Amino acid sequence: MQFHIEQRFAGPLEAVEAAFCSPDLLASLATLPKVGGAELLEQRDEGATFTQRVRYRFTGELSSAVTAVVDPEKLSWVEESTLDRATHVTRWTIAPDHYASRLSSSGTFRLTGKAHDLTIRSTDADLKVHFPLVGGRVEKAIVAGLKEHAAAEETVVNRFLNAR
């Protein structure tokens, strides 16, 4: 399932980019609904690129048909991402902690400065759940959770930028 998410941040591109590299912002995002528990595992700043690994958990609701074949406690993954500071594009992949053969996802976050105080973050991604009969439902539930998470994240990031 391919999906697109767009977020609007009240700050210049450089400030938004720096915020997404901040462990303080990740700590603020850890309690958001649907996708929670953002746990910073690793960060490497190599000047032109910035790489990080963050563990997330899906904390949304799933139907009984889905939970019959998927243990909600095992829906966690590590997002491995690399930001190219020249293009302001982050390429990411998901490495599931469980069900590795059942879930794959990758995509990009693209930051675009629209004005001095407005930056758009566009997410373009592909998510595939390989489970007979319920794979499509799980994909829809995860993407719905990601969209809710993005809306809540937008509020937290704007607060974070305003406090700086």
Give the number of domains in the chain. Answer: 1
Strand duo 35-45 + 76-84: pairing: unpaired
Strand duo 103-115 + 35-45: pairing: unpaired
Position 75 pLDDT exceeds 90: no
Which residue range(s) make up the domain with 31?
Answer: 2-163
Position 61 pLDDT exceeds 80: no
CATH number at residue 24: 3.30.530.20
Residue 13 CB partners (closer than 8 Å, separation 6+): 88, 111, 112, 113, 119
Spatial distance between the Cα atoms of 161 and 164, rounded to a whole number of angstroms: 5
Express each pLDDT in 120-161 by its tens digit: 999 999 999 888 877 888 788 778 878 988 999 999 999 999
Instruction: Specify the pLDDT at position 146.
Output: 84
Stretch 68-97: mean pLDDT, rounded? Answer: 92
Nearest C-alpha neighbor of 83 from the set 16, 151, 37: 16
Q: Is 30 helix (H, G, I), strand (E, B) or coil?
A: coil
